Amino acid sequence: MNTCKNIKDLILTDYMDSEVDLSTREQISSHLLNCSHCRRFAAEAEKNLAVPFKGKIREDVPEHVWSSIRQSIENAAMANTQSKSFINNFIQIFSFPKLAPALGGFVVLLLMGTFILNSHQIKQVKEKEQGEYLASLWKTVDFENSDLRTPIEEYFL
Kindly give the interhelix angle for 36-45 and 22-34, rounded to the nearest 10 degrees.
Answer: 120
Q: What is the DSSP string of 111-146?
A: HHHHHHHHHHHHHHHHHHHHHHHHHHHHHH--SSS-
CA 52-53-54 angle, 5° bins: 100
Alpha-carbon distance 12 to 49, whole Å?
9
Q: In this predicted structure, what is the pLDDT of residue 1? A: 47
Whole-structure pTM value: 0.38
Q: In this predicted structure, what is the pLDDT of residue 55? A: 77
Average pLDDT, consecutive stretches of 10 residues, N- to C-terminus, the chain (157 residues): 82 82 90 92 86 78 90 84 68 67 84 91 87 74 61 70
Q: In this predicted structure, what is the pLDDT of residue 133? A: 79
Q: In this predicted structure, what is the pLDDT of residue 53? A: 75
CA 146-147-149 angle, 5° bins: 100
